[in-house]
Amino acid sequence: MAVSRPSPVHLSATPADRPVYVIGAGPGGLAAAYALRARGIRAVVLEKADQVGASWRRHYDRLHLHTTRRLSALPGLAIPRRFGRWVARDNVVRYLEKYAEQHELEIVTGVEVSLVEPSPDGEGWLLHASGGRELTGSAVVVATGYNHTPRVPDWPGLDGYGGEFTHAGAYRNAEPYAGRDVLVVGAGNTGAEIAVDLAEGGAARVRLAVRTVPHIMRRSLFGWAAQYTGVLVRRLPVRLVDRLAGPVAKLSTPDLSAHGLPRPGTGLYSRVREGAVPVLDVGLIDAVRKGKVEVVAAVEAFEDEKVILADGGRISPDAVIAATGYTRALEDLVGHLGVLDEHGKPVAHGSRTPAQAQGLYFTGFTNPISGMFRELATDAEKIAKAVARKLS
């Protein structure tokens, strides 16, 4: 267990034995801890891994932020210019390490929180953690991450599938797949980028199974980052953004219908509000047009060593990589409090707390069109302000 202790400052807004506990030392948790500390509120970050930024350390090698360096900085520290416009995974980790160090955040690693419930005296929250710990805090910020637990659909026959199968969360690079036939399932940003990585990394054949055709946008066009547009339209009416996005897509993105990727029939922003962000192109368009990535129908089932597709096709890839997303896995932690919707997502986030759970905050459980890191930074400031107001 490692502890990073803060330098002596005047922290009087919380009782000495009841700090604000922040669960998770990823970007959202670190940003919230800094913003609280900046307001004189003692914040203790609890992290189950042995280092900050654990989820980022596990991402695949070629991953870069799809948002710009300038609009991805957390409060109180700019991302170094030398990291470039699109910050690589390893540099994101370096930035998070520097962030925790420079702000002298109080971080306890190797501690996993299993349950959060109201404290017996009704004046805060009781956290049950590994090692039999019971910690009482004046407030709690849950920042365990959007991509917490790999999700694999309950495909018929998967349990008896004789081929190689893995979730995208375990994918690192194309080296183990050189010269092999690989099926990537799922056409979100992760699936699209892994398919491109495989094609460029020497896989003999790469197929991408698509159930719902995604909106595909250029990450940057003539120097204008897609994120800038996301920031500008974020609060506009959904129908208006849908209407504007159609002509823009036709001008910037080629029609890939002949290659199995027709333009979606639903609006771009409507899909975002449902939780499906556009695919930001980092090579998929060219790979599909050149036949390096083949688009096939969705996966319906597995049978022996074959994969059965929705159009009746039966294929036998050497390996299947399921880029089928993640669950938030909050049910055990806070599900008993009635603060989750039917999909397991918090009913309130940022500075808003559920009516029946005042002092319990959530950050990082939305996937905004304006960029996750930018949203985390904004949430952190709002949460700190709300906590300070509640404790004053």
What single string gives the DSSP state of each residue in 99-152? Answer: HHHHTT-EEEES--EEEEEE-TTSSSEEEEEGGGEEEEESEEEE---SS-EE--
pLDDT at 334 (0 to 100) = 97
Could you tell me the pTM of the whole model?
Answer: 0.91
pLDDT at 35 (0 to 100): 98
Q: What is the pLDDT of residue 222?
A: 86
User: Regarding the domain with residue range 151-322, which homologous superfamily does it belong to in the CATH classification?
Assistant: FAD/NAD(P)-binding domain (3.50.50.60)
- Residuewise pLDDT in 10s, the chain (392 residues): 454 544 333 344 455 579 999 999 999 999 999 999 999 999 999 999 999 999 999 999 999 999 999 999 999 999 999 999 999 999 999 999 999 999 999 999 999 999 999 999 888 999 999 999 999 999 999 999 887 889 999 999 999 999 999 999 999 999 999 999 999 999 999 999 999 999 999 999 999 999 999 999 999 988 989 898 888 888 889 899 888 888 888 888 999 999 999 999 889 888 887 778 899 999 999 999 999 999 999 999 999 889 999 999 999 999 999 999 998 899 999 999 999 999 899 999 999 999 899 999 999 998 888 899 999 999 999 999 999 999 88
Residues forming beta bridges with residue 8, ordered by sequence position: none
What is the pLDDT, as a whole number, of residue 10? 38
Main-chain dihedrals φ then ψ at residue 301, nearest 5 degrees: -165, 170
CB neighbour class for 120 (10 Å; exposed up to 12, middle 13-18, buried from 19): exposed
pLDDT for position 248: 84
pLDDT at residue 2, as a whole number: 53
Helix axes 372-391, 27-38, angle to 10 degrees: 40
What number of H helices and E strands is found in the chain?
A: 10, 23
Question: Which strand (E) or helix (H) includes residue 247?
Answer: helix 238-252
Q: Are 383 and 35 in contact (CB under 8 A)?
A: yes
Q: Where are the CATH 3.50.50.60 domain residues in the chain?
A: 3-148+328-391, 151-322
Q: If you ran DSSP here, which 8-state letter would residue 208 be given?
A: E
Q: Which of 389, 359, 279, 370 is nearest to 22 (CA)?
A: 359
Is 331 exposed, middle or buried (CB count within 10 Å of its CB: 0-12, 13-18, 19+)? exposed
Which tokens go with 79?
Answer: 């991302």
The single-letter DSSP state of residue 290 is T
- Confidence (pLDDT) at 12: 42
- Indicate the CATH number of 3-148+328-391 among 1.10.357.10, 3.60.15.10, 3.30.1360.150, 3.50.50.60: 3.50.50.60
What is the distance between the alpha carbons of residues 195 and 288, in angstroms, rounded to a whole number?
10
